[in-house]
Homo-oligomer: A and B are copies of this chain.
């Protein structure tokens, strides 16, 4: 047995227990009621709950801090908000659903007519039963969101409007879980945590990422892993502005979002388009047993927008099931706990782990007997009866031997052969044990000398 570090191949990665989906959904349910935003106590509480499951370092960035072209805004917290009718009933009530309050709404306490009030109401006429999710982070405004049907049912008359929020100097808060590996090159997993009661976008991402981090804590890691739980846009920008050195060490990355719905998988490629993460994700999805599409990079979407801005141009893609803006529940109260499913969450986690497995085990080996095939039979690695099909294990060995010329990685070989990466990975391990391959160089600086530990 060689010293080849192959922890992933040796560990039962694929074994996602039947329980895990329920566990992921339960965690989402615990987080669901919290009123999150790009700043404030809801976001802090969310990070605290994540920190109970994985090691998490919390950063607080003061209001007014300059981060590239942006400035950290004042911190927003909401205490209460409602609209009462003439009978004194709360016809719109933040306590009932935090989507009712325009996120970052200013305070108000005033009586007004329905018509005056309507200037500040947001509804979805084409989906009249759902409450939309609306924000006004950078333009001071007050407002309510509600079901269109509900608004239509409100009679003319005077209404009492009450919003009790604070917008004050404070902080923007984000969390990081850093898991050092043999190499200091990093895999970045980024999840946004700024959405209030919305389940798929993005509590599904929060729970899958947390579980992925927990899985990785138990493993011997080739790469170092950094999970960042950040408010969307402004949080990713803050992290990038404050961590230029870590950003340079990012070798591969994924934004995780919308991973609990029943759609097939979608992987949006990094701006580079042919990065190892792009190829690894596409490979795993192709063999996932679920419908799966890859999408070209575009500059709109989630926080890959920042990681893939031209100054950084990091190899960060985005893994989703349903694609933002394309499913009717998107950014409405219909994106609730019924919209995400234990089975889909568990399978999403499994896909993430398999992508990590590719990154961990992808290397360039060299066939030590490059002239003709080595005689596998005398090593017990080839069937002794000739004339019949060789089977996929032997086939994988032939692929690894033929293409281990220093210029093809195991992922290249998996792609070219059409075989699943794990089969190629295992064939390489077998051939290494047989002394037929040189220990592979990876695309990382993970030689013994450079190990941080």
Interface residue A64 (Cβ < 8 Å from any Cβ of B): no
Measured CB to CB, the closest approach of chain B to A259, in angstroms, equals: 20
Chief secondary structure at chain A's binding surface: loop
Nearest Cβ distance between residue A206 and chain B, in whole angstroms? 19
Closest-CB distance, A56 to chain B (whole angstroms): 23
Contact assessment for A386 and B103 in the assembled complex, using a CB-CB cutoff below 8 Å:
yes
- In the complex, A389 has a CB within 8 A of chain B: yes
Chain A 241-279 interface mask (CB, 8 Å, partner B; 1/0): 100000000000000000000000000000100000000
Q: Tell me if A393 counts as interface (CB < 8 A to partner B).
A: no
B138 and A299 contacting across the interface, CB-CB below 8 Å: no
We find that the number of chain A residues with CB closer than 8 angstroms to chain B is 62
Does B69 lie within 8 Å of A374, measured CB to CB? Answer: yes
The digit string for A229-241, where 1 denotes a CB below 8 A from any CB of B, is 0000100110011
A309 to chain B, nearest CB (A): 5
A310 at the interface (CB under 8 A from B): yes
Question: Given the known A-B contacts A299-B401, A310-B404, A402-B310, are A137 and B373 also in contact in the complex, defined by CB atoms under 8 Å?
Answer: no
Q: Using CB atoms, name the residue of chain B closest to A332.
A: B387
Q: Report the minimum CB–CB distance from A247 to chain B (whole Å).
A: 9
B402→A371 contact, CB < 8 A? no
- Is A204 interfacial (CB 8 A cutoff)? no
Instruction: Determine the chain B residues whose CB is within 8 A of the CB of A401 once the complex forms.
Output: 299, 309-310
For this chain, the copies found in one complex come to 3
The answer to whether B138 touches A331, judged by C-beta atoms less than 8 angstroms apart, is: no
Please provide the chain A residues from 271 to 302 with a CB less than 8 Å away from any CB of chain B in the complex.
271, 296, 298-300
State the CA gap A341–B65 with chains docked (Å): 65
Residues of B within 8 A of A395 (CB): 300
Instruction: State which residues 110-130 of A face B: CB under 8 Å.
Output: 122
Q: Which residues of B contact A132 (CB under 8 A)?
A: 387
Cβ of A218 within 8 Å of any chain B Cβ, yes or no, is no
A308 close to B (CB within 8 Å): yes
Cross-interface CB contact of A377 among B138, B369, B388, B399, cutoff 8 Å: B138
Task: Establish whether residues B387 and A68, one from each chain, have CB atoms under 8 Å apart when the complex forms.
Answer: no
Question: In the complex, what distance in Å separates the CA atom of A373 from the CA atom of B70?
Answer: 9
Q: Which residues of B contact A403 (CB under 8 A)?
A: 299, 310
Question: With A134-B385, A134-B388 as given contacts, are A371 and B240 in contact (CB-CB < 8 Å)?
Answer: yes
Which residue of B has the minimal Cβ distance to A296?
Answer: B416
* Chain B residue at smallest Cβ distance from A371: B311
Within 8 A of B (CB), among A308-341: 308-313, 325, 331
Complex alpha-carbon distance, A310 and B228, angstroms: 43
Residue A86 at the B interface, CB < 8 A? no
Which B-chain residue is minimally distant from A374 (CB atoms)? B69
Question: How far, in Å, is A322 (CB) from chain B's closest CB?
Answer: 16
CB proximity of A398 to chain B, nearest CB, Å: 4
By beta carbon, the residue of chain B nearest A247 is B371
From residue 143 to 170 of chain A, which have CB atoms closer than 8 A to chain B? none
Q: Are B385 and A309 in contact (CB under 8 A)?
A: no
**Are A325 and B135 neighbours in the complex by a CB distance under 8 Å?**
no
Asked whether A76 is an interface residue with its Cβ less than 8 Å from the other chain, the reply is: no
Contact indicator A138/B384 (Cβ below 8 Å): yes
A224 at the interface (CB under 8 A from B): no
Kindly state the separation between the CA atoms of A136 and B70 in the bound complex, as whole angstroms: 73
27 contacts between A and B (CB under 8 A): A67-B372, A68-B372, A69-B369, A70-B372, A122-B385, A133-B387, A134-B387, A134-B388, A135-B385, A135-B386, A136-B386, A138-B375, A138-B377, A138-B378, A139-B385, A237-B373, A241-B372, A296-B416, A300-B395, A300-B398, A305-B398, A306-B372, A306-B373, A310-B367, A310-B403, A310-B405, A312-B372
Given contacts A236-B372, A237-B372, A310-B401, 15 further A-B contacts (CB under 8 A): A68-B371, A69-B372, A134-B387, A137-B386, A141-B384, A240-B372, A271-B402, A299-B398, A299-B403, A300-B398, A309-B371, A309-B373, A309-B402, A310-B404, A331-B388
